[in-house]
Chain A
Amino acid sequence: MRFIPFILLMALALSGCGSDPASKNVEIDAAKLKLFKPLPAKVDVKPGGPEAERVALGRMLYYEPRLSKGHDIACNDCHMLDKYGVDNEPTSEGHKGQKGDRNSPTVYNAALHFTQFWDGRAADVEEQAKGPILNPVEMAMPDEKRVVAVLKSIPGYVTAFKTAFPDQKDPITYDTIANAIGTFERGLLTPSRWDKFLAGDAAAITNEEKAGFNAFLEAGCQTCHMGVLVGGNLYQKMGLAKAYPELADEGRAKVTKSEGDKFFFKVPSLRNIEKTGPYFHDGKVVTLDESVKQMGEYQLGAPLKDEQVKTITTWLKSLTGEIPADYIKKPELPPSGPNTPKPDKG
């Protein structure tokens, strides 16, 4: 008997969705484009010394394995700049091959997130950069002093910090290290065809992609994925509509200790999402299609049909941007000095 209202409902639901994404001239609801903004040409940097010098120094530090205990892991090992800022592993290997418990998110466009990390425990990229260097399963340095001592022992860094932070009496500190890395990260932007479209070039995305955008709105994804980054500006419970099966990681509750924040994670940006799998905080989902499908199920409580998933991912691919090849070019790293501590593999 239960299926009688169901049939009535189906008839009603079907009557509502007649037009299919035909490949000719798909209309987009222009007013709703206000909810999505193009990437800025530039992100403001924090105060410090001259910007170009800080960027150059930050770039060196980003690629610098001597910031790790074993002198074998740099930021770029987990966030590869030529691979859209990720390593494409479910979770990453840090010091002595140890695995962390969360997926490495991309560093591209990350400076525009409202907070950093899956659980928002750092306010900005500068504060964030202080984390991995001392994290025992990542770069595993024992303390800030040791990091500063290593850099002070490398003559090339002594000069580079002096030019990047000319006003500082003692230019190499844990703060200036983080400031330089953060300043470099603020330039990691990947403008895409979607930005051209938002700027008024109607032909920058295809009709199939436009149809996908409409399907994204129709499904209600924008309630959590809006704005410049199509995400990155709120925390939401993973499993809002239906409990997510992986409950080991309590997400934001680990930071706030508040019961109400259990299983809340930062909603990720969907820029470059095609390239940054595997997906979710635990890296458990391999394909983009599957992650979109699970979003329908766990976040919206409305399973998506395969065609809906397909058209949505078609649009998502228009968010894949251009990697700034010159900006990320690996610089030459200065040679160690006579007093530079030896790598510690223990």
Chain B
Amino acid sequence: MKKIITYGLPLLVVVLIVMQFFGPETANPPEDPAATIAAVAKPPVEVINVIDRGCRDCHTNRTSWPWYSRIAPASFLVARDVTKGRAHLNFSEWRGMSPEITALRMTEACIEVTRGDMPLPYYLPAHPEAKLSAGDVKAICSWPEQQK
């Protein structure tokens, strides 16, 4: 046990320090203002507000990288979620969407926020503003209905 502490701990510290030099890519891709969901699909302002408060960091190109995202290994986990989040749904890149696909994607967003699966729960303690109220959920869920 003592051996583990005397050799293991310093090793771990060294590893963690070295890891800091190999951070993931955190530069945000550019956002074309003409291609955002706001510009293309013109959602009601409440919907834009919910996206901005609750989803922006993982589902747009305007991620504000939190302090812990600069420290490995958390940096890798955060970067993975941002990459994956953008690949699955990117509100900054709405070019080419028909009203039908917009309604379908928002229907899926409604499913996720109703269940509390989105925003990802681990994200909430550090981002209390992202916790959605019943009204926020309603805003997301009623927009696809209105589009029909």
Measured in the bound complex, the distance between the Cα atoms of B104 and A1 in whole Å is 43
Number of interface residues of A (CB under 8 A): 31
Task: Tell me the B residues contacting A by CB distance below 8 Å.
Answer: 15, 18-19, 22, 32, 34-35, 72-73, 76-77, 80, 83-84, 87-89, 93, 95-98, 100-101, 104-105, 107-108, 111
Separation in Å of the A238 CB from the closest CB of chain B?
11
A5 touches B96 (CB 8 A): no
- Which chain A residues numbered 218 to 237 have a C-beta less than 8 Å away from chain B? 220, 222-223, 226-227, 233-236
What are 13 A-to-B residue pairs whose CB atoms are below 8 Å?
A4-B19, A5-B76, A34-B111, A35-B104, A35-B107, A220-B84, A220-B87, A223-B88, A240-B93, A252-B96, A260-B95, A261-B95, A302-B84
Q: Which 6 pairs across A and B sit closest by C-beta, in order of nearness?
A: A235-B96, A220-B88, A234-B101, A114-B98, A233-B101, A233-B100
A223 touches B73 (CB 8 A): no
Measured in the bound complex, the distance between the Cα atoms of B76 and A2 in whole Å is 11
B73 touches A222 (CB 8 A): no
A304 within 8 A of B: no
Query: A interface, by DSSP: helix, strand, loop or mixed?
Result: mixed
Nearest A-chain residue to B83, judged by Cβ: A301
Interface mask (A300-311 → B, CB under 8 Å = 1, otherwise 0): 111000000000
Separation in Å of the B117 CB from the closest CB of chain A?
11
Separation in Å of the B102 CB from the closest CB of chain A?
9
A9 within 8 A of B: yes
Contact partners of B101 in chain A: CB under 8 A: 226-227, 233-234
Measured in the bound complex, the distance between the Cα atoms of B98 and A31 in whole Å is 22
Q: Given A34-B107, A261-B95, verify A12-B77 contact (CB < 8 Å).
A: yes
Separation in Å of the B137 CB from the closest CB of chain A?
14
Measured in the bound complex, the distance between the Cα atoms of B76 and A168 in whole Å is 68
Contact partners of A34 in chain B: CB under 8 A: 107, 111
A264 within 8 A of B: yes
Contact partners of A114 in chain B: CB under 8 A: 98, 100
Q: Given A4-B15, A260-B34, A300-B87, verify A234-B97 contact (CB < 8 Å).
A: yes
Q: Given A12-B77, A260-B32, verify A234-B22 contact (CB < 8 Å).
A: no
